[in-house]
Structure 1
Amino acid sequence: MSDETTTAPPADEPGFPGLSPAPAPAQPAAPAQAGAAYRVLARKYRPAHFGDLIGQDAMVRTLTNAFAANRIPQAWMLTGVRGVGKTTTARILARALNYQTPDGSSGPTTDLTNFGVHCREIIEGRHIDVMEIDAASNNGVDNIRQINDGVRYAPVSARYKVYIVDEVHMMTGAAFNAFLKTLEEPPPHAKFIFATTEIRKVPVTVLSRCQRFDLRRVDAGLLVGHLGTICRAEGVDAEEEALAAVARAAEGSVRDSLSILDQAIAHAAGKITLEDVRSMLGLADRARVIDLFEAVMKGDIAAALNELRAQYDAGADPVVVLTDLAEFTHLVTRLKLVPEAARDNGLSQAERTRGADFAGRLSVRVLARAWQMLLRGMAEVKQADRPVMAAEMVLVRLAHAADLPTPDEAMRLLRDGAGLGGGNGNGNGGSAPRPPSGGGNTALAARPVLASANPDPVPAAVPRALAGPQIATLEDLVALASQHRDITLKLALERDVRPVRFEPGRIEFALASYGSRTLANDLSRRLKEWTNQTWIVAVVNAEGGATLREQAEAAKGQRESDAAAHPAVKAVLERFPGARIVDVRDPRAVAADATAANAPDDEYLPDAEPLFDDSEPDFDGIDF
């Protein structure tokens, strides 16, 4: 028999709660023996009972209550990202199902602090009644047929025969179908535990037969505490900031964090410092990433490029630098929208204080635009032959765009008379003046995102003579169409447009049911020709106001109603039955028209437009 079965296990063996520093050997071991005895941290500190699991409290509570109530299902489905403990949880479940004390008096339980008869073999994956199957290489119908045949036989020594199927999503569709009947009605002595990272690839017919648990990513703060406990058990001195960097790099995976920690211990050969972890993983200094973010947001391209080159020379990967920059952009956005996020234990002091400062000085639109540009830039850098050059160009674009206005801000500036760089007389056409050395795009320097050390001059306003025709209402637009003799567009504007929003540079309207669907495009094109400006013309799904024709008809009806209520008009209408009011004119307007036409002063209405229409047959035979 091996020493493992005849001697008591040391305190740091897997499955023993309470991590303690390993005792120093009395004498150096031979290199060959040391290499054979060494186990990586991910295996050495693999959880052996539910109390060792970290970050999965909801699952542990559910399983504990289920076992206590004897409501144990026939199958479980464990899903989550790599390294969060799916296979480990499956082994702990198998141990809980088959827990047995030497006297044979115990049953299934989640209280596994003490090892039972089958516990060690199950945890080490070598128990005859607990079969671990890799579905990546055993994914066919023949493999499932073997399971279906073997499940009928009782376990050899344990209480349950447990099948742990890892990466179950790799099974073929035919294999899943062959498994359904056994999975739905297994023998009482059989249990199934499935683990997968791609839960969406598992058929719903299989999911409906399993109790599903989603294992969460482990919180960075909790992971840092776990790594610190392991370092103390291993007798390794490590800075807390170094462990935080390891936890961030692991992205919530416990196994990845232990693998990185194993590598950091070998790399440091002593105390693990933050600089050791950075140089080992090619990470950028978080404080320097924040400095780079500030330079970019100020539009200081020279400082941004120098900082990127310095980090690259120090060993930082350009892709990692942009990734960290995107992460800090996301952090600033979160701090702006959710200030309570500053209490996150995983944040450094620099991230907490400077991030909150940036959150108060940057708008959400600027941060969202920077996030989108960084995401696209990371993809470009990954595909580039010279990543550092591609990263520099990403920063150049980002710095130039940092102080550009959003479309609505640009519209507002144009409306208020502030130009966007046109007519500056610098020979650059419509572009902005060249900024001072190292500056970014300063065409809108009067509206800097962050206070820059090199403020740039405010561009001159556009002269009123070059501003084009002033269009403030729909009536102005109709008059402009009439002025350019576009009768078709004029009639369409009067008849088919129900105004919703009308302002310089933007028109929104609802279209009448009989209106042309191309009216918005036609109007936008015409406005570009007539005003030398780009107008946003959109048809919106809204009720809108009345058309100009409807407004004119309503006004005409109101005038006729008011006129019919006049005593003199009433008398005339009563005197002449069948007479009706054809039109009502404003005497002042009529007088002005008459004066312009050199008509007599006492002419009230032109003869061609009588107040009453007496040409109807009803007037025949009436004696005046």
Structure 2
Amino acid sequence: MENFIVSARKYRPSAFSTVVGQDSITVTLKNAIKNNHLAHAYLFCGPRGVGKTSCARIFAKTINCSNISSDFEACNECESCKAFNENRSYNIHELDAASNNSVDDIRTLIDQVRIPPQIGSYSIYIIDEVHMLSASAFNAFLKTLEEPPAHAIFVLATTEKHKILPTILSRCQIFDFNRIKVDDAVKHLQNIAQKESVNIDEEALNVIAQKADGAMRDALSIFDQIVSFSGKEITFENVIQNLNVLDYDYYFKIVDASLEGKVTDVLVMLNEIFEKGFDGHHFVGGLSGHIRDVLVGKDPATIQLMEVSDSVKQKYIEQAKKCPVDFLYESLKILNQCDIGYKSSQNPRLLIELSLIQLSQIIESKKKGTSLKKNTKKLLKIIVEGREDLPAQTKASNPVSQQAPSNGNGQVKVEPTEPKIQTGVSRNAYTPTVSIKQALKTGIQRPKTISKPNYQEKEKVDLVAVSENIPLNQAQAFKQLKEFVQIKGKSDRIRLALTVNQPEVIDNKVILKVSNPLQGDDINGVRVELQNHLRRVFSNKEIELETKMSQTKTTKRVFTDTDRFNYLCKKNPVLGVLKQKLSLDFE
């Protein structure tokens, strides 16, 4: 049984022509070899898995080849190429800076640089993950990097260019590697699948390339994983099942349902997504990316920005024709707000559901000329009450629809009822009312004749009807004032205004004493409420409230010097005798 070699190693590029997605860099390096313009130091930087180390090895192999081809590729036949291919070359040295990052390691490298090559013209030193070198090691490396021997060439590779000292960067030619495009990754995977006799859909390869996020090595690792899972016959369903990727059909269905305003269908699909174990935050990001692709699919000039297969691209174009631009802009805005508030939300699922409901109301709001905020009532109606096309048995269970007959215009007719007289003294008695939710559903409107009570016209407002009169006294009235403040949760100002002074009770009149006009205004603000409270407690509809300014006795204040001296003389008569004998006077 042969040893298995992962595709990332088995199909590692061995020539410039096999490097994927880095044409500008490979052309530059080949031209440098062609014109014999080789620098003494190169820096290859970029994301993981894009070919930095592979290009460094190919470059080192090519410049030492004794029979370079016409397109400036290594021949793979000379002694230098054979030694490189068999991993026994003494001209190419690789150093892992992650584990050799001290000053002593750099000193060893400096001593090694002095030795000329035995075969070929150059000694190439490839230092991988060079940003892991310590600051002392970088400083020790500066002089050799700037003025190495004529036969020495340094190729530094890193994924974090910002961590390298500027003094190192200034001594190197810098090559920035790009992420592998989805199309380039798909083509490369198709070639490998053909060599491995694997039958795989183009859509499945597209998912693998997108999952790799621009790293060819990651794409090859995922490809090996899928082959182990599905064998030689791989379908799109196998890939999304193994990689736990949400099927893009869900995004198409959610957008279609949102265009038609089908809130229930959208919420049901969201529940299916959660039941399959997908993360809500990833779903929001995926839906945002989907709507972005639909937006760029509306213009032929931007269709090329979509990194999807041709068959899927056609689906985006068809859906883009059905989606108004305003709908797409508003959807992106809503989903962006959902993405921002997801991590700080205490109920992330509800946040996503509300965002999807808003998406479903965009078209209807545009038709009615209202904003989404003004359409909140209908959103609540759909969430709480259910869909408008409820079954008959569900509608029959609604108490409003049972009790209130229709007037023939689709609205519920409400019969006027006589007010009931409350004769008890309980404060927790229940008075049946129509809720806001029922009013929104049935269309009940508030009568125009009802207005807010006017505190200045207390004789016109009597909210409590009673049938008997119970006499009250001062102690009972003062007790009920305290209880009123506690039950109703009034402010400290009102509590002081009502309880700082004992009230006067004359027959059925309660006189509240206030110390200043401000307290009088505070009491007038709750006069009707307090008066009805006392009427309810004492079952006495004749109780009336009045306010009275309390008067405080004041003594004459001493202002003149004579008055002050006379006041002191009352305390100590000796002062008057002393003033007379010394003939003193006030200045």
Whether 1:128 aligns to 2:90 is yes
| Alpha-carbon distance, 1:261 to partner | 0.6
Whether 1:245 aligns to 2:211 is no
Match of 2:162 among 191, 200, 204: 200
Match of 2:176 among 214, 219, 230: 214
CA 1:399–1:343: 2 relative to 1, 3 Å:
closer
CA distance in 1, matches of 2:126, 2:60: 9
Aligned to 1:372: 336
Q: What code does the residue aligned with 2:352 have?
A: L
Indicate the SS of the match to 1:77: strand
Whether 1:60 aligns to 2:61 is no
CA distance in 2, matches of 1:216, 1:351: 29
Q: What code does the residue aligned with 2:293 have?
A: L
> Does the CA contact (< 8 Å) of 1:132 and 1:165 recur in 2?
yes
CA 1:337–1:371: 2 relative to 1, 3 Å:
farther
Aligned to 1:397: 354
Aligned to 2:396: none
Aligned to 1:302: 264
CA distance in 1, matches of 2:85, 2:126: 12
CA distance in 2, matches of 1:108, 1:146: 38
Whether 1:46 aligns to 2:12 is yes
Aligned to 1:353: 317
| Alpha-carbon distance, 1:71 to partner | 0.7
CA distance in 2, matches of 1:264, 1:189: 46
| Alpha-carbon distance, 1:142 to partner | 1.8
Q: What code does the residue aligned with 1:187 have?
A: P
Whether 1:434 aligns to 2:373 is no
CA distance in 1, matches of 2:218, 2:342: 23
CA 1:375–1:439: 2 relative to 1, 3 Å:
farther
> Does the CA contact (< 8 Å) of 1:329 and 1:371 recur in 2?
no
Deviations 1:399-430 (A, max 9, x none): 2443788xxx9xx969xxx99379xxxxx9xx
CA 1:298–1:107: 2 relative to 1, 3 Å:
closer
| Alpha-carbon distance, 1:280 to partner | 0.5
> Does the CA contact (< 8 Å) of 1:419 and 1:460 recur in 2?
no
Whether 1:275 aligns to 2:237 is yes
> Does the CA contact (< 8 Å) of 1:167 and 1:197 recur in 2?
yes
> Does the CA contact (< 8 Å) of 1:250 and 1:256 recur in 2?
yes
Of all paired residues, the percent bearing the same amino acid is 32
Indicate the SS of the match to 1:434: helix
> Does the CA contact (< 8 Å) of 1:129 and 1:155 recur in 2?
yes
CA distance in 2, matches of 1:419, 1:77: 55
Ranges in structure 2 where 5+ consecutive residues have no aligned partner = 389-439, 446-587
CA distance in 1, matches of 2:356, 2:178: 37
Deviations 1:301-352 (A, max 9, x none): 4323321332344464545433322321332343357753257562414542
Whether 1:189 aligns to 2:151 is yes
Q: What code does the residue aligned with 2:146 have?
A: E
Whether 1:161 aligns to 2:110 is no
Aligned to 1:257: 219
Whether 1:72 aligns to 2:38 is yes
* TM, length-normalised to structure 2: 0.59
Indicate the SS of the match to 1:118: helix
Indicate the structure (1 or 2) with the bigger Cα radius of gyration. 2
> Does the CA contact (< 8 Å) of 2:76 and 2:82 recur in 1?
no
Ranges in structure 1 where 5+ consecutive residues have no aligned partner = 1-32, 423-427, 441-455, 462-624
| Alpha-carbon distance, 1:40 to partner | 0.4
> Does the CA contact (< 8 Å) of 1:336 and 1:360 recur in 2?
no
Query: After superposition, where does 1:194-593 map in structure 2 within 5 Å?
Result: 194-295=156-257, 300-314=262-276, 316-335=278-297, 339-341=301-303, 344=306, 346-347=308-309, 348-349=312-313, 351-357=315-321, 360-363=324-327, 365-376=329-340, 379=343, 390=348, 392-402=349-359, 420=374, 434-435=381-382
> Does the CA contact (< 8 Å) of 1:168 and 1:196 recur in 2?
yes
| Alpha-carbon distance, 1:393 to partner | 2.5
Match of 1:173 among 106, 116, 135: 135
| Alpha-carbon distance, 1:62 to partner | 1.1
| Alpha-carbon distance, 1:126 to partner | 4.6
| Alpha-carbon distance, 1:233 to partner | 0.4
Deviations 1:424-483 (A, max 9, x none): xxxx9xx9762375679xxxxxxxxxxxxxxx99x999xxxxxxxxxxxxxxxxxxxxxx
Deviations 1:539-591 (A, max 9, x none): xxxxxxxxxxxxxxxxxxxxxxxxxxxxxxxxxxxxxxxxxxxxxxxxxxxxx
CA distance in 2, matches of 1:126, 1:322: 52
Aligned to 2:539: none
Indicate the SS of the match to 2:191: helix
Match of 2:100 among 115, 138, 142: 138
CA distance in 1, matches of 2:75, 2:319: 44
CA 1:358–1:374: 2 relative to 1, 3 Å:
farther
CA distance in 2, matches of 1:209, 1:355: 53
> Does the CA contact (< 8 Å) of 1:282 and 1:317 recur in 2?
no
Aligned to 1:27: none
> Does the CA contact (< 8 Å) of 1:100 and 1:107 recur in 2?
no
> Does the CA contact (< 8 Å) of 2:254 and 2:269 recur in 1?
yes
Indicate the SS of the match to 1:162: strand
| Alpha-carbon distance, 1:365 to partner | 4.0
CA distance in 2, matches of 1:196, 1:108: 31
CA 1:113–1:305: 2 relative to 1, 3 Å:
farther
